[in-house]
Structures are given as C-alpha cells and as structure tokens.
Chains A and B, each alone.
Chain A
Amino acid sequence: MSGWNRSSRSRLGGRNNATLERTSTTQTVRLGRVQPQAPGHRTIYCNDREANLPVKFVGNSISTTKYNFFTFLPKGLFEQFRRVANLYFLGISILSTTPISPVHPVTNVVPLSLVLFVSLVKEAFEDWKRFQNDMTINNNSVDVLQDQKWESIPWKRLQVGDIVRIKQNGFFPADLLFLATTNPDGVCYIETANLDGETNLKIRKALEKTWDYSTPEKASEFKGEVQCEQPNNSLYTFTGNLIIDKQTLPLTPSHILLRGCSLRNTEYIVGAVVFTGQETKVMMNTMNVPSKRSTLERKLDKLIIGLFITLFCMCLIGAIGSGVFINYKYYYLGLRGSKGENSSYSSFNPDNRFLVVILTMFTLITLYSTIIPISLYVSIEMIKFIQSTQYINNDLRMYHIESNTPALARTSNLNEELGQVEYIFSDKTGTLTRNLMEFFKCSIGGEVYGTGITEIERGIAQRNGIKLNEESKSTNTVHEKGFNFADAKLMRGAWRNEPNPDLCKEFFRCLAICHTVLPEGDESPEKITYQAASPDESALVIAAKNFGFFFYRRSPTTICVRESHVEKIGSVQDVSYEILNVLEFNSTRKRQSVVCRYPDGRLVLYCKGADNVIYERLANGQDDLKKVSREHLELFGSSGLRTLCLAYKDLSPDVYESWNEKFIQAKSSLRDREKKLDEVAELIENDLILVGCTAIEDKLQEGVPTCIETLARAGIKIWVLTGDKMETAINIAYACNLINNEMKQFIISSETDVIREVENRGDQVEIARVIKDEVKKDLKRCLEEAQHYLHTVSGPKLALVIDGKCLMYALDPTLRVMLLNLSLNCNSVVCCRVSPLQKAQVTSMVKKGAQKITLSIGDGANDVSMIQAAHVGVGISGQEGMQAVMASDFAIAQFRFLTDLLLVHGRWSYIRLCKVITYFFYKNLTFTLTQFWFTFYTGYSGQRFYDDWFQSLYNVIFTALPVIIVGLFDKDVSASLSKKYPELYREGIRNVFFKWRVVATWAFFSVYQSLVFFFFVTRSSDRGVNSSGKMFGLMDVSTMAFTCVVVTVNLRLLMTCNSITRWHYISVGGSILAWFIFIFVYCIVDRKKNVYYVIYVLMSTFYFYMALLLVPIVALFGDFVYQGMQRWFFPYDYQIIQEIHRDEPEGRSRDDLLEIGNNLTPAEARSYAVAQLPREISKHTGFAFDSPGYESFFAAQLGVYTPQKAWDVARRASMKKIAKKK
C-alpha cells in the first residue's frame, strides 16, 4: 500500500510543482488566472445589431465606481462601520441613551456623526472622480460602420457585432475579431505593452476570407456569424469559429485584437466586436482591486487595541471598586428607594453587588469612551487627503513638462507608507528606460567614435565632483529619433580621412544591408520611415542613413542603398545589392547574417551579433584589432550601452554555391527545420573579419541613475524585474548603476548547457526535475558565498541576476527561503524574463517573507499584478497605456520623481502622521485619565467630571484643528535638504517615530500630566477661593481643570512642531479661544445644568489666573526636560541636519547652489569621467538585441505554443510590390 503511494507521488511530483506554484499564488494575483467559464458559447452576428438583440450582451462602457446614487448611503455607512472605532462609538452612543450612562447621548453622538459626515463626503468626492475618469474613457470615440459609412461614436455605445475601424496608433476599444487591414497580406502589428510589457511588435493575421472587407462599402456587405467561447480572462487563448458563406473557419488567438493593445505600423484595420466592456479579457483581468492599508495604520490598530485593553482595565478597576463601595450606610444616596423609584435604582443595589459591577462597567465604558480617539481616523483621512490632493498632485517638482503630466495620488491611504519603503521593484521598459534606442557610439577598426556622455558616465563624474558641461549641440550634429551621435570624424564623408576608411565602408554597408527592416513612405532621407521589429534594428539603419548609406528600398531579392562619398566626397550613387540569403536572428544564435552580391559580383556575408558569438567565429590574425575592440566593448558595456559586433566575409562563388545547396535543402526540410537551418548557417559563418562594434543607448529616462543612487543612499534596495532578456536586463542594470564591475554577481540562468540539453530531449517531467536541481545547487552555492562575503568586513557588494525559468523553481516553497535569504543579502537584484505573475510573486515574497515594506513601479499592464501585490504601487503616467496607472496608488510621469515622492512627500507624511497619531493618543489618554482619577473620589459611581458638551467637543473642536495643521504643515527639514541627505529616510525605514518606546514615552507624560491636572486643580481649590470666602462646586473645579487641559494639550502640540507657521498660531490660539468663547456662551445659554455661569464665577477669582499660569507649565515641565535632554544627548538625525542648516533661509534656489561649479572644459571633463569608469576587472561587454517575435514570450511560458515563424521579410516586400501595382 505504502509502495503504491510512494510511486504515485514520485510520478506526479515533478509536474505538480509547477502547477501547484501557480495555483497557490492565485489568491494574491489576478492576472493570468483562468476563471471557470460559463457553459456553452456565444453566437455573434456581425454587422447585425437586431440579430444580436435577443442575447443581452453587456455594453462597452466600464465602471470602476464603488457606489451609485442609491447604494451610496447604505453601502457607505456599512463601510464606515467596518472600522472598529466607529462601530465602537455606535455601540457607546446606543449605550449612552440608556439610564446607566452617566453622560448625555450627545457626548458620543455628536463626534460620531461629525466623523461619519466628513468620511462620507470624502467617499462621495472620490467616487465622483472615479466616475468622471470612467466617463472620459467611455467617451473616447471610435469609427463604427453604419449605413456604409464610418460614423464616430463614443466607446460606450459600441455593441457586440459592430464593425469598427481602428487607425494607426489607436487603441482597440473592445476585443475585436480581426477582419481586414490596409496591409496587403492581411497582417497588422500590435503593441501589447499594456498587457504584458513586451515592446516588440506582435503580428496578427486576418483570415484570408475576410481580407477584402476594408472599405466601408465592402465591409457593410460582411455578414458573418462568430461562434466563440464565453468571456474569460485568459489573455492567450481564444477558441471559436467564423461562419461565413456557410463555411466554417476556425479562429485562433492570432485573429483577435484585445482591448488595451494598440495598432502599430498599419494605417487602419477593420474588426468585428466580440467582447465588450467588462467582458473584455483585459477588464476581466483587472477587477476589484482590494484597497490597501498602510503599515502605519495597521500598527495604529494595535495601538487602538492597546487602548481598548487599557479601557477595559480602567473600567474593571472602577467597576470592582463600585461593587465594593456601595453600601446602605450612605443613606443620603437613597439606596433603599421609595415610591416613584425608577429602574436606575437597581444600578446601585448593595444587595446585588455583582449586578452593580456589571452595570458600572457599562457606565464607565461610556464615561471613558474618549480614550478611543474617535476623530483620529477622520483626521488622518483629512490630512492624507489634503496631502495627496494638494501636495503630491500639485508638486511642481514632480510635474513633467514634456508630457504635461503632474503626479497623481490615486489613493490617499498610503502617503505615509511612502516614507517607509525599503524595497523597490521596478519594471524596466518605459520605467527605467524610454524604450528608445539611439545609435550612440561605435568602434571601427580599433577607433572609438562618438563623443556623447551617457547618464552613467555623468553620474560617475558627478560622484567624483566633476561637472560635465554638456557640449552645445552644434549644427553639424544630426539628432533624430534613433540617432544621437556626435562626432565630426565620421559625418559627411569625413570618415574617408580616418585610418581605416575601408573598414568604415564595410561597417556602414553592414549597417545598411544586414537587417530585416522595411522602408516605408517617400524615398528621401527626411521622409522615410523604417518598419522594424525592434527599435535596435531601426536605430542601426538610421545610423547608416546618417553616415551616408541610405537604405531606401527593399524588394524580395534586393536592397537599394544610396551611398554618398564612396568614390569621392560629395558623390552620390544608388547601389542595389542582391540579397541571396538571410540567416535570421534568434536567441540561441545571437547573430544575424546576410549574404549579398554587389553589382560588381562580389559576394559578401555581413554578420552582426553578440561579441562572444562573433569572436568565436573570427578568422585568425587581427589580434590587435580584436584586443582593442574588446576593450571598447567593455568600455561601452560599462557605460551602459548595448553593443553588437559587426563582421564580414568575402565569399568565393564556389564555396557559396555549395553552401547554398545545403541551405536550400535545410530550408525545405520538413522536420527540425529550425535546427537544420542553424546548423547550415554555422557552416558559413566562420572566418569572419571583424569590422567594429556599435553601441546603442537604450535611452534611460532622465535622471534615473542619480535617482537610483539617491534611493540607495536612503537605504532603499532596488530590484529590477523585467520581461526582457538577461543581456538587456544586465545592461540596464549597469546603465542604472545598480550593478557595477566591483560587485560580486551571482547569475542563476536557465541558459546553461545542462538545461538546454535536457530541454532538447523534451521530457517535461525531467526538465522540471533537472532545472530544479540546478537551481537548488546554484542557490546553495551563491548563498554560501554570500554569507562568506558578509562575514568579511569589506567584502564586495553583491548582486543577483536570475531568469524567469529559474525563478519559477526558486519560488518553490522548498527553495523560497534560500532565495529570500540570498536576495536580501544582495544590494541589487535583477530578475529577467519574468512573467507578470512572477513579478507579483517576487514582490509578495519580500512583502510577506521578509516583512519589509515594498514599492512596485511600472508602466504597463504586465506590471499590474506587481503593482497590486506591493504595499505601494506606482504607475508611470503620461504615456499611452493606462493600465498600470489604473491599478496604481500613485502615478508619476518619470522614474526620477520617486526621489521627491519618497524622500520628500513620503518622509514628511510619515513623520507628520506619526506625530498626529501619537499626539492623538496622548491627548485622549490625558483627558480620560483625569476622568479616571476622579472616579476614585466619587465612590466609583462613574460620575462624570466634565460636562457632557466639554467631553463631546474636546475631540472635535477644542483640539481638532491644530493637530490637522501639524499633519499638514510640520516640516523637519526642507525638501531640498531631504534630498540632499537621503539617509534621513532611514529613520522611516527603521520606524523610529512610531515605536512602542515612543508611544510609551507619550503615555508616561500623559499619566504625569493627568495627575497634575486632576490633583493640582482639585487640591488647590478646596478652600475659599476669593476674598469673599465663597466655595467652588464640582462644575467650577472641572471647568478649571478642563481649561487647563485644553490649554496644555494645545501648547504641547506646539512643542512637538519643527516649524511653526502662522497657521499653527491661528489654530492653537483659535482652539483655546474657541474653548473660551464656547464656555462663555454655554454658561449663559444652558441654565438647566450646573455649569451655569461657572466660567464667570471662576474668572472673578485670582485663583483662576494663578492656576492657569501654573498648571500648564507644571504639566509641560516634564516634557520640556525630556525634549531638552533627548535633543542634547540622543539627537535624531533630522535634528542634527536642522542644526547644520539652522541659519539658511529656505528657498527653491538652494538646489542650484548645492551643485559645485568647476572650470573644466567639456573634453577634459569627459576624459576624466571616462577615466573614472572601472574597467580593469570588467567582464561585461553589453551585448543586447531584441529580436522580433511572432507571439508573446509569456504566452509561450503559459503553455500556449505558437510555432516560431521567421519574419519573412522578402515575402512581405514582395506583397508590398503587388499592392503598389494595384
């Protein structure tokens, strides 16, 4: 029996791990989970609204609002009462309407209703904004076919079955069935960055049967019937049939255009709407974002629980005292009762002491209810709301002029969380980089060309105190998209005077010929546009154009290049090269070759690829060139540039012919065609002659390296999680200064021989087992090494690079701890080739496993899950996609604004809220304790010390405003100093300001002060108080005490302030004044109570003024001594910084003054910067190249397999010709 069990487990084990992994994390992450589908299928009649009518498909409008007009009140109130404090006060309010309450219901009802009112108004306002946001999306216009014309209607009116037209760069308004396109071969290109973050364009191809329906006249004739699956959230699957002319055609995912994607490189497409609105795949992937609560608030909950426990203890003490105290001997209490006795009698029945205890318990709970700061939550909300809407949204430092985008706080819940972030998970494309490739430098025949300075060089120079003067853009440098190269030595034919003009020529020709780019538009250098599958490729072709080798036409067999300055300066000639073979780029080959024949019959193979691949295949000799070029590659690599090596080879006709036969054979083979083609290519790609290398800048967003460095100094660790390939990811990590050559790198990759070999065998179970073992081995080794380094004093910093496939196994519960340990010890972590799901898994691993506060930042829909999984999600706004922004908590236009968001806003918010919370805690505890001390002197009867209105207004009026002002205006150091000393941020990470010790200190002084208030005031007023010998009553004493409390508590707030604006004075003064005005009026108005005229009686005595001067000072004495000592002996960091800069006026211009000026010329500065680059131990050469893909990498990872088809340029070119002829 046991044997059977074991065998079955082992058989299933390997495969199950992967599936288990996926299912176990689905609770936290929504993207990628496949929901159970409704049975059956849907039938859609295209272009026939009536026919679709019986089936009520949902409209295309989307709604993200929480409430509507009718549900607002019940739902909103329900939400409010989910807060324990509110619920508690509701209970107390109900309790205080009963006779056992010592206080009038007004005491608790007034604050509660004020609090609820404010919260509801805020909710309504936020929901209204959401509603408006939805409306703008729903009112985007789209062209729909109506009466043989394209009519523009808003998105929300779109219905299932409609025929729509989407133009270039437009977003798809719904999930569409792709019918026709302006491209002749029925394909269109889409960008799915919003869905999976991959930036290479995807090809979609319409059914041939529907190719013609591209004009309105033709499209209106289209009558098809689509039978397809019910809406679901699986992005990469689609099953259905199109029935047209009684012919059933199967539909695949490649016929579907998903909402959220956009159209590229295609004039327009025509499609039929299949899924709409909430039923689109992307919407089904992003539903019901759970609202996040900040860590501080969760800590606050603990504090509140602590207060509840305190409350309970206080009540218990009082209640037991009451039970013991009560006795018939106090005859004046009338405990024996008499006629007309009501139920309240029972609450003091000495015959039933137990009942007395229970009832007194309730009495005291209502009496001490003020210990729970009811207005705390609403005050915090207001503060945070103003912080986010007024400060974060309006911060000019976070306004991006180019994209006209200010920062946006989409939730106001997490402001202070921004002040405690320890881990940042960043996406790469669009977040760190602009997704803009620019030809930046090159090395030809051992000479470096290109004078630009990369961000990383600038950063290094800055760290070394040198300011690099940007070379003014002279008129002779050409700068266009994809080309940012400045060096007169190569431009306008000047290369002819360089040491190796022939190599230069080959270099340029290689750039112009060896690619798979299609030219489009007018054949003039200014107007032409290149269609390339990756921005790298087009950057290279554009570079060739600028060097005078203008590639302007491609036919299936030729490439036409307009070559300038070849014969002599100024000469221009059109040369057409016959393209004989194209050897495609793929990730195993890492190179791409073209065999071409010159007009004069010369046969040349041009090759470009990764340096290590090319170097292996170089002809012998040219060692000097190799060495110099390698140095240049390393230089480029450590400057964060993406490099490609260029080489060529002259072929003799016989060699070529014999090879070509093999090639044709391989090309036409039916089995293992890819593999055979690779092998054949291998035969000819050898004995190459090195020409040089190119360096392309994957243009970083502005200020990224500086920002990252600042954040690192602030104690924040940054992880890059990207869908890109390992080379690209490492490259960017270099460019961002996350990894440098001095760091010890741990690389865990699945691209090893062992794994590849197993993969080729294709046994899934074994692949899983082998990879797991390998990963485990790697992890163990790295961890040991890391721990070894940790024990040494000045070991190198550590960096971890891991790819998605390995990560999948490393995240396995058995290995997870090891991964976590290793990664927490590393200063930077780079995860490449990770799926959106894995991004979220990594994030929640750190969030839950290490209990650290995490922030995710990204710009695409592939980052959504990560953004939602982290404590704080930040979206990059101002770009086209909105998915990430919609899921995020904060949206900023640029990565570098994180500095301001975290170091300035986050830090301030954190400090302010800590102050607000601790102060709230203090003031309520102090107030309630005076009440508590009084209980001991009332026979534990629960008599209130203060009047009902005093107690109810204490929190909402007399002490409400100043604390909000502090929450808004308190500023320890200025914004520029916050950024100048990023280390200050660490106080937030360590949670210095809201530790139990801090709370305990406040509690201690709270007890002290309450003792002073109660005992001093009662003891000093039990004699005659004026020269006429009259005595005070209870209400006089309590009013006196309350006055002291209000004054002291407000003054105490001023003592906590780091900066005092006039609003502080106004609010503190106003609060104290409000109390006096209130009591002046109340003492006249309310004649029913004992407070009548009390304040006037009080103020007629000297005693009042004597006590009013003395009591607050005695109460604050302890705090003052403590603050003085603390500052002197254990100063906080911010206090030191304050002292350093105490004499400086604050101003915006400070930022500029901080920079150190210098007199270096640009050339000197540059050479110095370059000299500063660490290079002696460099291994990194910076190869990276994005290959065009047919289908998403993630789709493949999820098991949706689409065969890799070659980007058949020749065929596309030929189709173009045909189209033109038409």
Chain B
Amino acid sequence: MNTKGDKSKDGESSHAKKKSRRPKYSRFSQQELPACKPILSPGWVVSIFISIGVIFIPIGFASLLASERVVEMRFHYDHDCIPAKYKDDMIAFIQSNVTNKNCTRRLPVTTKMKSPIYVYYQLERYYQNHRRYVKSRSDSQLRSVSSEDSTDNCAPESFATNGQVIVPCGLVAWSLFNDTYKFSVKNRSLGVNKKDITWKSDREKKFSSDVYPKNFQSGGLIGGARLNSSIPLSQQEDLIVWMRTAALPSFRKLYGKIEEDLEAHDEITIEIQNNYNTYSFNGRKSLILSTAGWIGGKNDLLGIAYLTVGGMCLFFAICFILMYVIKPRPLGDTSYLSWNRSASGGQFNF
C-alpha cells in the first residue's frame, strides 16, 4: 500500500520535473521588439523646422495668391434698407404686412469679376446652431413620402392649425430666409441662376423628389419664405441651402449665381426685397458678390497661417542654431545627470 503511494508520488514528481516552467522566449514578452529610437537632437529639431518652413512658405504664397485673385463685394443692407421713418422701430417695419420692403441700391464694381459670380447672403448673430433650432427638423420626412408623419422633433412647427402635418416641418424650415435680390447692370437685368447652389448629395439623397411642401407657413405666425407646393423638395434649392445649418452664428449662404462677367467701373443695381426679420434680435444682413478660385472664396486666413507657421519654423530653426552655438551641450554629457549634478546632496536627500 505504502509503496504504491510512494511510486505514484515519485512518478508525479519526475513528471513535474520534466515539465519546465521556463517561459518561452519571444521578442514580445522579453520586450525586445525591434524599434527605432528617435532622439530629438538639435539637429533633428532644426532640420524638422527648416523642412516645415520650406514646405509651408510656398504653399502659403500659393494660397494667398489664389485668395488675392478672388474678388469679393460686400454690402450691409439691414440698416440701409429701412426707410427713415421706421429707423426707430425697425421691428414694426419688418413685421408689418403693408410696408414696402423694396429697396434699391447701386454698387460700383471695383475690379473685374469673372463669371460665375456667386451671390451670398450673410447673417450675423443668427444662431442657426442653437440646440433647439438644430433639433427642430425631420430629416426622414424630407427624405421619403412614407415618413411624412415623423415630426417628433419638429415642435413647435409640427402640425398646422388644421392638425395636419407640416411638410417640411420644424423651426429650421419655418424660418426659411426670404429676402430676394435682383441685379442689373446698365439697366440690363442680370439673371440669377438658382440651380446647383446646393451640394449634390443633399439634392439627391436628403431631399426627396417625391415630397412636396404641405401646410407650410399656414400657421398663425409666418416665419419666413413660403414654398411652392407644386415643386418637390429636391428642387427647392433655397430650402436645401437653408437647411444645411451653419456652424457659427454668423454665416453665409449661397443665394445664386450670376453667369456674366462684371467689368470694372460697372455700377451694379441691386433690388432687395427686405423681408426677413433680423431686427428683433439685432442681427445683421449683408449681400455678398464673390468670384471663386481653386481655394474657394476669399480666404486669406489659410495663406497667412501657412506663411506664419513657415516663417516661425525658420525663425525657431535659427533660434535653435543660435542656442546651440551659445550654450552647447554635447550629446550624452554625463555632467547633466541628476546624480552627478548633486553629487554631494545626492546620497542624503531625505
């Protein structure tokens, strides 16, 4: 009995001995993966600075040049287009149904503008990105007829007074911008093309060609523009532009395109239908005529930024070179080691 027990135990132990618990070697577990070990030596710092500078400065010049080529004309009309007698009560003017909101102004063209000339309206202090506003829309309703009834987020513009759903519902659509502009040069009116002012994806996928406006602006309070209920949403490009809500409280939106060149010293006559109420919240409205280059509209910021960064890189490169000359530190100078620096105090720092 005993011997049997012993044997089995011995068997176990010899078995255990054979089974080594030695960890297997792998580069991972021994933490010896091949690695590159960059050391940010002054050489590297300087050369990185220089190369960034060398790359950025030309880009900066290129984009600044592109931006310079863009001609932009801007005209604030919110104050200008209020008749003198209403200057004290602009809100009453804008909200009234009877006041004449037409307003004609002339603008000189300083530089030649090549077609296409883009017409933008710009609103300031208009919080299109307010949480309540942004939420108040129904994308599914816009996209398909079948979900016309999904107006969950559209409050308070979900249902018309007759209890039917509003299409398009929500505050965003309701507050659609409704100023209109007409342009003429030398008494020859310029056509404003309002086609293809939206991103293609919006037109084709987000706004259905089967959905027609219903019960829109039929409530007691009229927010903005009305929509022709015989035109499907996908062709209501003003609405589509408006509903791509802007990021900041001052924003531009594309109104249309003038597909004629404007010569320098031409005088452009603008007929503005000043309907939209920005007066109650002291917002500003302006009209912008601009050409576009490869970089888009007039955008000096990019070019300046590129130039500044490039310049600063070169500047720092020079600084580092100077510092290297003035206060050199050989790589791997052991006198910089903390235990060498405080050799006396190092042992007894309690």
State the A residues within 8 Å of B (CB): 102, 141, 143, 149-150, 152, 327, 329-342, 344-345, 347-348, 363, 390-391, 393-396, 399, 401, 404-406, 790, 793, 797, 824-825, 908, 937-939, 941-943, 969, 971, 975, 983, 986-987, 1016, 1018-1034, 1036-1038, 1057-1063, 1087-1090, 1092-1093, 1096-1097, 1101-1103, 1106-1107, 1109-1110, 1113-1114, 1117, 1120-1121, 1123-1124, 1127-1129, 1131, 1133, 1135-1142, 1146, 1148
Contacts and interface: CB of A to CB of B under 8 A. Distances in A.
Given A1087-B139, A1103-B295, 6 more contacts: A330-B281, A334-B174, A983-B338, A1030-B197, A1032-B244, A1148-B32
B297 A971 contact: no
9 contacts: A333-B127, A338-B157, A396-B22, A908-B31, A938-B130, A1016-B305, A1024-B292, A1026-B292, A1128-B42
A1033 B339 contact: no
Interface in B58-107: 59, 63
A1018 B248 contact: yes
B1 interface: yes
Contacts of A969: 31, 33, 35
B188 interface: no
Nearest to A827: B347
Interface residues of B, number: 122
B175 to A, nearest CB: 4
Contacts of A1032: 244, 247
Given A340-B159, A1092-B206, A1139-B39, A1061 B33 contact: yes
B128, B244, B298: most-surrounded residue (chain A CB, <10 A): B244
A404 B21 contact: yes
Contacts of B241: 1031
A1027 B293 contact: yes
Given A1032-B247, A1121-B316, A150 B198 contact: no
A1026 B206 contact: no
A1090 B298 contact: no
B248 A341 contact: no
Contacts of B197: 1029-1030
- Tell which of B198, B254, B302 has the most Cβ of chain A within 10 Å: B302
Nearest to A795: B348
A390 B334 contact: no
B36 interface: yes
Given A938-B131, A943-B129, A1120-B48, A1092 B199 contact: no
Main SS of chain B's interface residues? loop
Nearest to A937: B248
B296 A1037 contact: no
Contacts of B2: 150
Nearest to A972: B37
B22 A938 contact: no
B231 interface: no
A390 B130 contact: no
Given A939-B249, A1034-B246, A1038-B247, A395 B22 contact: no
B31 A971 contact: yes
A1117 B131 contact: no
Nearest to B301: A1020
Interface of B: 1-2, 5, 8-9, 17, 20-26, 28-42, 45, 48, 52, 56, 59, 63, 116, 118, 120, 126-136, 139-140, 143, 155-159, 161, 171, 174-175, 196-199, 201-202, 205-206, 219, 221, 223, 241, 244-254, 257, 277, 280-282, 290, 292-299, 301-302, 305-306, 309, 312-313, 316, 320, 323-324, 327, 329, 331-334, 336-339, 344, 347-348, 350
Contact of B59 (A334, A1106, A1120): A1106
Question: Which 3 A/B pairs are nearest by Cβ-Cβ distance?
Answer: A1023-B297, A1093-B201, A1024-B297
Contact of B309 (A339, A1113, A1146): A1113
A1140 B332 contact: yes
B337 A983 contact: yes
Contact of B42 (A797, A1107, A1124): A1124
B320 A1058 contact: no
Contacts of A330: 127, 130, 281
B35 to A, nearest CB: 4
Contact of A1136 (B28, B219, B257, B333): B333
B242 to A, nearest CB: 10
Contact of B36 (A405, A797, A941, A1059): A1059
B302 A333 contact: no
Contact of A391 (B29, B38, B219): B29
A1117 B116 CA distance: 39
A1151 B49 CA distance: 38
Contacts of B24: 394
A1037 B246 CA distance: 9
A150 B1 contact: yes
